[in-house]
A and B are shown apart, each in its own frame.
Chain A
Amino acid sequence: MWSRTIYLLPRRLSKDRHILSFHSNLRKASSAGTIQKADNKQVTKSESLGGEYVQKALKPITNEPFVKNLFLGNFDKDALIYPELTKEQLDDINQLVQPIERFFDEVDSKTIDEKAKIPDDVLQQLKDLGLFGQQIPAEYGGLGLNATEFARLAEITALDGSISVTLAAHQSIGLKGILIAGTESQKQKYLPKLATGEHVAAFCLTEPSSGSDAASIQTRATLSEDGKTFYLNGGKIWISNGGIADVFTVFAKTEIEKDGEKVDKVTAFIVEREFGGVTNGKPEDKLGIRGSNTCEVHFDNTPVPIENVIGEVGGGFKVAMNILNSGRFSMGSSGAGVLKKMMGMVAEHATTRAQFGQYLSEFPLIKEKFARLAITTYVMESMAYLTAGTLDAYEQPDLSLEAAIVKIFSSEGCWVCANECLQILGGLGYMKDYPYERLLRDGRILMIFEGTNEILRMFVALQGCQHAGKQLKELVKKIRNPLANPGLFFGTLKKRVMSDPLKPPLKLHLDEEVHPSLKTAAQSLETGTFIFQTAVERVLERYGNKVVHEQLDLKRLANIVIDLYAMTSCIARTSRSLSIGLRNSDHELLITNTFCYEADLRIKHEMQQLLKGKTENTDETIHKIADLVFKNKGYAASHPLERNW
């Protein structure tokens, strides 16, 4: 029986099993006992009363945001318990995987790339397979997949970049607004046709003058005098599915009254092509994902009924951010899906191609590349499924930072790994006869769209600082004013002089939460957590509210916390694999230990640079170098052959 209720078990339920195998933690043991009972009860209750009771009883409303709390130095040990599906859930998802794998085996990605178009029959088959309605609930005709299942299918659909982006533009952003913020009647009207792919959706935010700065859009919606219709005017660019979509989620400025003053605020609308006045440009010619349809979309006095506002009038910016935040987590699994496929093909080459009388696979420099491919892929997967599993465990999860971290790490991981694959292949990788250069080109967009990695790094660091700032406000204020608070100031100073910020004492005992083989890795995670807490405090003291302008230090904070979340994910996953004895779990252990060792070095390096301050760590000179380049409108140093005498 495919029912939502089977996914409502909180994560703790399944995760206690393997932890119990070697922990004498009584708290966990007892809570596992009670939850097991609840589990049994669920079966009977859901049969007699329907899902409602169960849902409220078993699925907690929201989580303590793990990454945000890291900014305060708080480590939620539950994050080290990797989410698990039940046997039945796993069988179900594997059943769905099969036909999609077969279908994607036969997709001709080379032709899609060359012709810059997904053939209509392929698109129709994707629709028939049900792939256009993956996360739309079953009552609206979709598959009702949860985040974990969606992530699993994304591993396969990602194998063709053009198809992957077409699907994502449709359901991860295009129709997501209706799904998460739409009214019941909007859902009933639009979702069934979107689920079958009879209608295709697109997300229209970006404009020529408004990219990362989404609040600056110029497209305008003006309310008619009778108050029933908005008239939409403006142009959007680089809209995925822009030429094939029937339903658009459009963001436009509307004038609203706030405190007696008229201000412009962003509002989200559902716009049908049928409404009239909707035109699109010709498909853009792109570096990668060439078969995905990317167009300009123009709205010329397009009438939109007021009931097609998504959320509140003036509440569109929040809708846009929620849509984008909710879609990012799947980039981890999709990236890993592509890399696993690529690794297989490249490994085949490396084990059969001989040079200097040796197979490539015997050269340490090649081995190093494969090890890094495996590590990066492993971390991407671990993060993606930890995030997805947590998303599934709560009613209204707060995972915006985790999802952004998955996106940053995975998009960069894909680029670096695809690049290394080409390097291993040598000249062969550069040839269009092989798929590798296409995969490299297709992957490049990942670092740009759905929020550039630069914006997302700032987002992660600033959201985290804001979360920490609320709690640290008093402390920071006092430390920044030593004359008024001499005791605290000197106390803190003493603590700092006496202790090495890079070698904090270990008090959390994270190593006791995981498989004993992961002791060292868990200890570096704990060290990193403390270092990060100190880093956040220093940054906040140093800059206070002006921290928003300190992008280079914010980047350091983001980099540290990305590594911390990555370490947490793979330690948790490896601990589970070792405890239940999965095949090749010793391989996983090597991967995690290697990754954590290097992450530890990176974290300490970032911290050293941060402690040094701008004058010593070259941040200032970086600014100066760039400033002269801009002043000069280009490269400013004299030509090496130049003489001035």
Chain B
Amino acid sequence: MSALRVLVGCKRVIDYAVKIRVKPDKTGVVTDGVKHSMNPFDEIAIEEAVRLKEKKIASEVIAVSCGPQQCQETLRTALAMGADRAIHVDIDSKDYETLQPIHVSKFLAKLAQDEKADIVIVGKQAIDDDCNQTGQMTAALLDWPQATFASKVEKNNGDLTVIREIDGGLETIKVKLPAILTADLRLNEPRYATLPNIMKAKKKPMAKKTPSDLGVDVASRQEIVSVEDPPVREAGQKVESVEELVTKLKDSGLV
């Protein structure tokens, strides 16, 4: 069983270096005119898929992104990093505001079947909503084994040996294919998309699908009540001595 097909989810998120601002009406955060890029964990996922291909374990890497038109930029980055083709699930911006991991899982599950994928890799979580659900739910929908928080992936015969980062240490598990992986921070260090590869990526195919093509209902089941800034950190105080520190901590009931 060689020549695996790998499907990778790539979410477009607000760039990690951007200072997030809450919209004045508290319905969400400001995204207009804000720099976006690929979710860093998804970059790790793409990198892992491309490495599997370079090791001849995988035959094809397919990048998927669900969201508005601009997601194609994210997919171009994935293509420039080495994905072979891309699928953009086009979601209009209104639906996208309330799109949840369950919807994305359904898209990924359907696409994994349609594309006959052997491995689905996603980042362990997205840095915008921090949900950490998509990989797990996709596994459930497909009834495939899952190896989450992967920090090392190796293929042995028909199985994958995956080292997972768990509380207090590492866990090594074996999963049968097809399987879902979610990428943790230390899985690899993603490459830069080089300019010549960005140029070449323009020639790679990008398919566009709609939620109805995939038979997924994206109607929202929840309403955003309010989005708030985190509380502002109070200013610190300088103390002269350890005694003073202890006194102050005692006075404020912290020790």
Is B247 among interface residues, defined by CB-CB distance under 8 A?
Answer: no
Is A359 among interface residues, defined by CB-CB distance under 8 A?
Answer: no
Q: Are B195 and A129 in contact (CB under 8 A)?
A: yes
Complex CA distance for A96 and B195, rounded to whole angstroms: 6
Is A482 among interface residues, defined by CB-CB distance under 8 A?
Answer: no
Q: Are A102 and B202 in contact (CB under 8 A)?
A: no
Using CB atoms, name the residue of chain A closest to B192: A99
Query: Scoring A residues 93 to 104 as 1 if CB is less than 8 Å from chain B, else 0, what string do you get?
Result: 011101110110
Is A128 among interface residues, defined by CB-CB distance under 8 A?
Answer: yes
Chain A positions within 8 Å of B73 at CB level? 91, 94-95
Q: Are B195 and A583 in contact (CB under 8 A)?
A: no
Q: Are B192 and A125 in contact (CB under 8 A)?
A: yes
Is A130 among interface residues, defined by CB-CB distance under 8 A?
Answer: yes
Query: Scoring B residues 67 to 97 as 1 if CB is less than 8 Å from chain A, else 0, what string do you get?
Result: 0000001001100100000000000000000
Q: Are B194 and A2 in contact (CB under 8 A)?
A: no
Chain B positions within 8 Å of A131 at CB level? 195
B37-77 residues with Cβ-Cβ distance < 8 A to A are 37, 73, 76-77
CB distance from A92 to the nearest CB of B (A): 7
Is B131 among interface residues, defined by CB-CB distance under 8 A?
Answer: no
CB distance from B156 to the nearest CB of A (A): 32
Q: Are B203 and A1 in contact (CB under 8 A)?
A: yes
Chain A positions within 8 Å of B195 at CB level? 96, 99-100, 129-131, 134, 143
Is B20 among interface residues, defined by CB-CB distance under 8 A?
Answer: no
Complex CA distance for A344 and B192, rounded to whole angstroms: 26
Q: Are B192 and A96 in contact (CB under 8 A)?
A: no
CB distance from A347 to the nearest CB of B (A): 14
Q: A91-B73, A98-B37, A583-B33 are in contact. Are A2 and B192 (CB under 8 A)?
A: no
Chain A positions within 8 Å of B199 at CB level? 2, 138, 143-144
Is B214 among interface residues, defined by CB-CB distance under 8 A?
Answer: no
Is B99 among interface residues, defined by CB-CB distance under 8 A?
Answer: no
Number of residues of chain A lying within 8 A (CB) of chain B: 25
A125-166 residues with Cβ-Cβ distance < 8 A to B are 125, 128-131, 133-134, 138, 141, 143-144
CB distance from A460 to the nearest CB of B (A): 34
Q: Which of B73, B197, B198 has the most CB of A within 10 A?
A: B198
A553-609 residues with Cβ-Cβ distance < 8 A to B are 583
| 8 Å CB contact of A143 from B17, B76, B193, B196 | B196
Chain A positions within 8 Å of B37 at CB level? 98
CB distance from B54 to the nearest CB of A (A): 15
Chain A positions within 8 Å of B203 at CB level? 1-2
Chain A positions within 8 Å of B33 at CB level? 583
CB distance from B190 to the nearest CB of A (A): 11
Chain A positions within 8 Å of B202 at CB level? 1-2, 92
Complex CA distance for A138 and B199, rounded to whole angstroms: 9
CB distance from B198 to the nearest CB of A (A): 6
CB distance from A196 to the nearest CB of B (A): 9
Complex CA distance for A94 and B197, rounded to whole angstroms: 14
Complex CA distance for A103 and B191, rounded to whole angstroms: 11
DSSP majority for the A interface? Answer: helix
Query: Scoring A residues 1 to 43 as 1 if CB is less than 8 Å from chain B, else 0, what string do you get?
Result: 1100000000000000000000000000000000000000000
Complex CA distance for A105 and B197, rounded to whole angstroms: 21
Q: Which of A94, A130, A583 has the most CB of B within 10 A?
A: A130
Q: What bracket does the count of chain B residues touching chain A fall in?
A: 10 to 19
CB distance from B154 to the nearest CB of A (A): 27
| 8 Å CB contact of A95 from B17, B77, B192, B196 | B77
Using CB atoms, name the residue of chain A closest to B38: A98
| 8 Å CB contact of B198 from A96, A133, A134 | A96
| 8 Å CB contact of B76 from A95, A105, A130 | A95
Complex CA distance for A247 and B57, rounded to whole angstroms: 41
CB distance from A464 to the nearest CB of B (A): 38
Q: Are A128 and B194 in contact (CB under 8 A)?
A: yes
Using CB atoms, name the residue of chain A closest to B81: A99
Q: A92-B202, A583-B33 are in contact. Are A129 and B76 (CB under 8 A)?
A: no
Complex CA distance for A1 and B203, rounded to whole angstroms: 6
Chain A positions within 8 Å of B192 at CB level? 99, 102-103, 125, 128-129
Chain B positions within 8 Å of A98 at CB level? 37, 77, 193
Q: Are B77 and A130 in contact (CB under 8 A)?
A: no
CB distance from B63 to the nearest CB of A (A): 15
Using CB atoms, name the residue of chain B closest to A100: B195
Q: Which of B37, B194, B203 has the most CB of A within 10 A?
A: B194
A90-120 residues with Cβ-Cβ distance < 8 A to B are 91-92, 94-96, 98-100, 102-103, 105
Q: Are A99 and B193 in contact (CB under 8 A)?
A: yes
Query: Scoring A residues 396 to 435 as 1 if CB is less than 8 Å from chain B, else 0, what string do you get?
Result: 0000000000000000000000000000000000000000
Query: Scoring B residues 107 to 150 as 1 if CB is less than 8 Å from chain A, else 0, what string do you get?
Result: 00000000000000000000000000000000000000000000
Chain B positions within 8 Å of A2 at CB level? 199, 202-203
B222-244 residues with Cβ-Cβ distance < 8 A to A are none
Q: Are B194 and A95 in contact (CB under 8 A)?
A: no
Using CB atoms, name the residue of chain A closest to B195: A130
Chain B positions within 8 Å of A583 at CB level? 33
Using CB atoms, name the residue of chain B closest to A141: B196
Chain B positions within 8 Å of A92 at CB level? 202
CB distance from A386 to the nearest CB of B (A): 24
Using CB atoms, name the residue of chain A closest to B36: A98
Complex CA distance for A341 and B76, rounded to whole angstroms: 27
Using CB atoms, name the residue of chain A closest to B197: A130
Chain A positions within 8 Å of B76 at CB level? 95
Using CB atoms, name the residue of chain A closest to B37: A98
Chain A positions within 8 Å of B193 at CB level? 98-99
CB distance from A2 to the nearest CB of B (A): 5
Q: Which of B17, B73, B195 has the most CB of A within 10 A?
A: B195
Q: Which of B37, B76, B199, B203 has the most CB of A within 10 A?
A: B199
CB distance from B175 to the nearest CB of A (A): 33
Chain A positions within 8 Å of B194 at CB level? 99, 128-130
B179-206 residues with Cβ-Cβ distance < 8 A to A are 192-199, 202-203
Complex CA distance for A102 and B37, rounded to whole angstroms: 11
CB distance from B82 to the nearest CB of A (A): 13
A63-107 residues with Cβ-Cβ distance < 8 A to B are 91-92, 94-96, 98-100, 102-103, 105
Complex CA distance for A426 and B196, rounded to whole angstroms: 44
Complex CA distance for A367 and B80, rounded to whole angstroms: 44
Chain B positions within 8 Å of A144 at CB level? 199
Chain B positions within 8 Å of A133 at CB level? 196
CB distance from A524 to the nearest CB of B (A): 33
CB distance from B50 to the nearest CB of A (A): 15
Complex CA distance for A131 and B198, rounded to whole angstroms: 12
Complex CA distance for A96 and B194, rounded to whole angstroms: 8
Complex CA distance for A94 and B33, rounded to whole angstroms: 13
Using CB atoms, name the residue of chain A closest to B32: A583
Complex CA distance for A136 and B198, rounded to whole angstroms: 16
Complex CA distance for A134 and B203, rounded to whole angstroms: 19
Chain A positions within 8 Å of B196 at CB level? 130, 133, 141, 143
Complex CA distance for A134 and B196, rounded to whole angstroms: 9
Residues on B facing A (Cβ under 8 Å): 17, 33, 37, 73, 76-77, 80, 192-199, 202-203
5 contacts between A and B (CB under 8 A): A95-B80, A105-B17, A133-B196, A143-B196, A144-B199
11 more contacts with CB within 8 A, not counting A129-B194, A144-B199, are: A1-B203, A92-B202, A96-B195, A98-B37, A99-B192, A99-B195, A103-B192, A105-B17, A125-B192, A129-B195, A130-B196
Considering the complex of A and B, which 6 residue pairs feature the smallest CB-CB distances, nearest first?
A: A130-B195, A130-B196, A99-B192, A99-B193, A2-B199, A2-B202
Residues on A facing B (Cβ under 8 Å): 1-2, 91-92, 94-96, 98-100, 102-103, 105, 125, 128-131, 133-134, 138, 141, 143-144, 583
